[in-house]
Amino acid sequence: MPTAMSPAVPTYGMRLARFTGRLLLALAAVATLVIVFLVTIALTNGAGSGLGAWLTALGVGTAAALWRGRRRPGARRLAPFLPVVVAAALTASVCIPTTPTARRYPPDLPFVATQHWTLATGSRVAAYHYPPANNGVRHPTPLVYLNGGPVRGISLLDHRFLQLLARQGFDVYAYEQAGGGRSDLLSMDQYTISRSVRDLDAFIDRLDKGSVDVLGFSSGAVVLTRALAEPGVAAGLHRAIIAEPGPMDGPTAHIAGHGGRPSARGLAPTMPGPRSTHTPRYAVAFGLMRLGLLTPDTGLIGQAEGDNAFTAADLGSDTASAYCARDAHRIPIPTEDTAQNFSFSPAASLRVQQTVKDSPSIAPQLRRSRIPAMLMIAECTSQVRQWATTILANDPAIQRTQYMPGVGHHMWNGLDDNNDRAAATITAFLQDEPAPAPAPLPNYPTPDEIPAFLRDHK
């Protein structure tokens, strides 16, 4: 008689396949809930520090787990809730602040007094003064420095360069633009390129020393360029130095051009120090803001919290891009800035940059400028060349262009004699003298040389 067959015993391979399948399903469930969370964050603009998105993802996961476990006996009904618990824990880390939510300002610098000036615009800015050295050479016109950022503290490297200019007889003033460094924050809707120009005008009025020379670097050069296009603001300017400018308006910002000679981006060693983007909350917030999926005034993180969280290491690739490729392994990281002095507002900076992109052309107004100006262009830079050449083509008052060989975007970078060369170039222009010896820089490119300059990828 045939005997009854005993039940088949699962092999090790079959058990492994079942376990792997269940694990993959669980991971897919976790990933799906994380995606639901991120999509909801974007749709709600991070409302309530992301709590609304977290509750939505938790509700979706709970409903799905109840449906999957409805026919399972006993404790097995709880198994579908494990991915929900894991996803809830992961996404909860995005909703919990890990840095103070009230603004922590950098401590005062030991070598210069921090003054706080309330401008007529309502901005309360941190101002610095480097009086001319008592060496017999004094320049009669004050020099105002506008740093890059857009909303960033003045780096120690810049402070050292301002001290060098003061030793050469300049009466140097600088201020950190509203929201940057030790300056007070504005509400997010107040960060605009127009506000930056009005603040410059108000700072000059508050200085009350007549017309001033202005050195604008990077985004500070954008503020200066737009000031030249506004007759009421330009009236307070004596001479202007436009150094390595960003895009001056919307049409310029949308130009697809090329940079200069290769920079150290991608070649320099990794910037040391902690990164906010290694924390889920700030990685999500800054990442989605950069992608345009969260607005700068997102409810996920406040402006002050974002400023507190952002570190110098987060800007590592941008720092490297300010140096020539040949200098990749000697970037003066310890002297570029310190963790105590570093300050950058990612949300406010994105907001200002967006207002530049949304602005109409200022070329017709700039063509009427009569303020003597000099344009400085670095050899190695990631800045789109057309950002500078567009200003050169439209500002008839640019008297000379100085193409600075051997330096990157941050032209006074403390390496070799770069600070002295930049200072000599600035001094010569402000004194209406030829470019400095022993190797005078040619006036290059001129407006007529722009096509060849761009074609040769200089």
What mean pLDDT is predicted for residues 401-418?
Answer: 94
Question: From the CB of residue 68, how many other CB atoms can be counted at a distance below 10 Å?
Answer: 16
What mean pLDDT is predicted for residues 427-431?
Answer: 94
One-letter identity of residue 168 = Q
Q: E strand or H helix at 173, and its extent?
A: strand 172-176
Structural domain includes residue 41 = yes
> Same structural domain for residues 91 and 119?
no
In contact, 149 and 174? CB cutoff 8 Å: no
CATH number for position 150: 3.40.50.1820
Q: Three-state DSSP class for 261?
A: strand
pLDDT of 236 over the 90 cut: yes
Tokens of 219: 């985004």
Q: Give 316's pLDDT tier (boundaries 50, 70, 90).
A: confident
Where do the H-state alpha helices sit in 45-187?
Answer: 51-68, 81-95, 156-167
d(CA 407, CA 377): 9
pLDDT by residue (tens digit) across 369-397?
999 999 999 999 989 999 999 999 999 99
Structural domain count of the chain: 2
pLDDT of 4 over the 70 cut: no
> Same structural domain for residues 59 and 168?
no
Structural domain includes residue 121 = yes
pLDDT of 201 over the 50 cut: yes
Of 95, 123, 139, the position where a domain reaches its end is: 95
Q: Is the peptide bond before 438 cis (omega within 30 degrees of 0)?
A: yes
In contact, 176 and 125? CB cutoff 8 Å: yes
Q: What share of the chain is helix, strand, coil (3-state, %, to 5)?
A: 45, 15, 40
With CA atoms as reference, report the closest residue to 48 among 87, 94, 100, 99.
Answer: 94
Structural domain includes residue 301 = no
Burial class (CB in 10 A: 0-12, 13-18, 19+), 360: exposed
Q: What range defines the domain where residue 448 resides?
A: 115-272+324-455
> Same structural domain for residues 180 and 85?
no
pLDDT of 327 over the 60 cut: yes
> Same structural domain for residues 137 and 89?
no
